[in-house]
Structure 1
Amino acid sequence: MQDVFNFNAGPSALPKSVLEKAQAELTNFNGTGMSVMELSHRSKDFEAVHEEAIALLKELLAIPDSYKVLFLQGGASLQFAMVPLQFLKPGKIGNYLLTGSWSEKALKEGKLLGETAVGASTKETQYRSIPALDAITYNENDAYVHLTSNNTIFGTQWKEFPTVTHAPLIADMSSDILSRKIEIEKFGMIYAGAQKNLGPAGVTIVIIREDLLEEEVDHVPTLLRYRTHSETNSLYHTPPTFSIYMLNQVLQWVKDQGGIDAIERKNEEKAKLIYDAIDESDGFYRGHAEKESRSLMNITFNLPSEEENKRFLAKAKELGFVGLNGHRSVGGCRASTYNAVPLEACVALSDYMKNYRR
Structure 2
Amino acid sequence: MSDEDERAYAHADSVEGLLRRGRGLGAVRALQDPRRAAGFVYDGIRRDWRWDGTDDRSLYLARLVQDLGLSPAPVVAQLVADEETCLRACEVLELLALAGSDEAREGLRAYVREGEHWAGVLESVAASWPRGWWEDLGDVARDRIGRETELPWYSEPWTRFGIEVRSRRCVPRPSLAGLGTEELLALLADDGARDDTKSSALRALNGREPAAQLIPLVPSLGTSDGRRPLPPLGRAVERLGAAAVPAARAWARDGRGWLAQLGSEVLAEHPGPDALPGLVEELAGQWAARDWCGPDRTARRLARFGPDAAGAVPHLRRFWLRTPHSYERAAYLQALGAIDPDGLDYAHTESLWDCEETARLLGIVSAPAGPEVLRRIEVLRDDPMESPEVRAAARVRSAAVAGPGPL
**TM-score surpassing 0.5?**
no
Structure number with greater Rg is 2
- Normalization by structure 1: what TM-score? 0.26
Question: If each structure's helix is expressed as a fraction of its own residues, which one has the higher value?
Answer: 2
Instruction: Answer 1 or 2: higher relative contact order, Cα 8 Å, separation at least 6.
Output: 1
Tell me which protein shows more strand as a share of its residues.
Answer: 1
